[in-house]
Each structure stands twice: as structure tokens, then as C-alpha cells.
Homo-oligomer: A and B are copies of this chain.
Amino acid sequence: MADLDRLAEMFKLLGDKNRLQIVALLNDRELCVCEMVELLSTSQPNISQHIRKLKDAQLIKETRKGQWNYYSLSATDKPYLQAVLALLPNQEEKFKQFTPVACC
């Protein structure tokens, strides 16, 4: 596949509000699924499915800690990704308003 096509694939992946929000949050710190559910106010399966797409594209990686799956950005030195991360607005506010729920 041509460079341009792969770039389009990446843009498509990031061209979703929820997925881009996940990437932006992970740019600050790693998170488990239930934290993302809280932060994005959506359902657990919805988060899990977006995560899978990001993982399939190797944008994020998973580390299990007990019963929790934590996710973090993977290969931040990967071509393109660094440039994209630089565009993301800071997510401090999101975290400030965030009161961790029982699960995590």
C-alpha cells in the first residue's frame, strides 16, 4: 500500500471524536478501560471496540495489571504519530473534572 494510503488510514482512524479523545488522554497518561468509560461518558463495549482499532493499528499497546487492562501510546516515535500528537490540545481539564470511580 502506498504511503499516501497508509496516511489516509491513520487519518481515518483519528477522524473519530471518541478515538481522538482516547489518544489525547493517553498522551497525558495511561488509562484502564473503565477510566475511559468515565472520561468519555460512553459504554464499555464502545470503548473496547475503539481500543481494538487503535491497537490493531499499533497506535496503542496494552498491559494487563490484575483484572485491569491498561493502555498507553505505543511507539510514539513512529512516523506521523509524533506530528499528530503535537496537534492535540492539552487534556488537563478533563482529568481535573474526573473523579475516579470505584472500579479502578
Contacts and interface: CB of A to CB of B under 8 A. Distances in A.
A95 to B, nearest CB: 14
Given A4-B20, A8-B14, A8-B20, 19 more contacts: A2-B89, A4-B17, A4-B24, A4-B88, A5-B17, A7-B20, A7-B87, A7-B89, A8-B15, A8-B17, A9-B15, A11-B11, A11-B14, A13-B15, A15-B15, A80-B87, A83-B83, A83-B86, A83-B87
Given A12-B12, A15-B12, A15-B15, A7 B83 contact: no
Interface residues of A, number: 24
A92 interface: no
A89 to B, nearest CB: 4
